[in-house]
């Protein structure tokens, strides 16, 4: 069984990405704020997070840095993606330091599917 996926993005793009992932039979959730995001992660045992790093309502780098500090979470069991359009170089560099996979949106959506499938096989149950 594949791990559910959560998308942290604006409504329009999130809807497109969600439909794309669901067409490959992934269970997909979306979050519109950090409270909802954390609730969904725990409620549905989500291990794959897909962020738009350019959102105004969340600093994705700061959130992930703090998320990785949580003692109750083994962050090695999570895979985090940034779907980038015109993302600044320093954000991409910081993402690499945090072991976040950056993919250009929308041209790398097939790569995203392959990454998710590959990671899903390695998730401990």
Residue 81 burial by Cβ neighbours in a 10 Å radius (0-12, 13-18, 19+): buried
Task: Let me know if residue 10 belongs to a domain.
Answer: yes
Residues 57-83 have pLDDT tens digits of 889 999 999 988 887 778 788 999 999
CA-CA distance, 53 to 45, in Å (whole number)? 22
Task: Let me know if residue 53 belongs to a domain.
Answer: no
- Number of domains within the chain: 1
Task: Let me know if residue 54 belongs to a domain.
Answer: no
Look up the pTM and report it. Answer: 0.89
Domain at 86, CATH number: 3.40.50.2300
Please tell me the number of Cα atoms within 13 Å of 74 on its side-chain side. Answer: 5
User: For residue 29, what are the domain limits?
Assistant: 5-48+59-121
Task: Let me know if residue 24 belongs to a domain.
Answer: yes
Task: Let me know if residue 84 belongs to a domain.
Answer: yes
Residues 90-117 have pLDDT tens digits of 999 999 999 999 999 999 999 999 999 8
Task: Let me know if residue 63 belongs to a domain.
Answer: yes
């Amino acid at each position: 069984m594949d791990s559910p996926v959560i998308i942290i993005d604006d409504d329009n793009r999130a809807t497109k990405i969600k439909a794309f992932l669901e067409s490959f039979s992934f269970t997909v959730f979306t979050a519109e704020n950090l409270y909802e995001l954390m609730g969904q992660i725990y409620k549905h045992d989500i291990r794959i997070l897909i962020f738009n790093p350019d959102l105004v309502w969340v600093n994705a780098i700061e959130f992930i840095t703090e998320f990785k500090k949580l003692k109750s979470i083994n962050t090695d069991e999570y895979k985090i993606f940034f779907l980038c359009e015109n993302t600044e170089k320093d954000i991409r560099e910081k993402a690499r330091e945090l072991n976040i996979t950056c993919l250009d949106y929308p041209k790398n959506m097939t790569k995203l599917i392959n990454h998710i499938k590959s990671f899903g096989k390695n998730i401990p149950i």
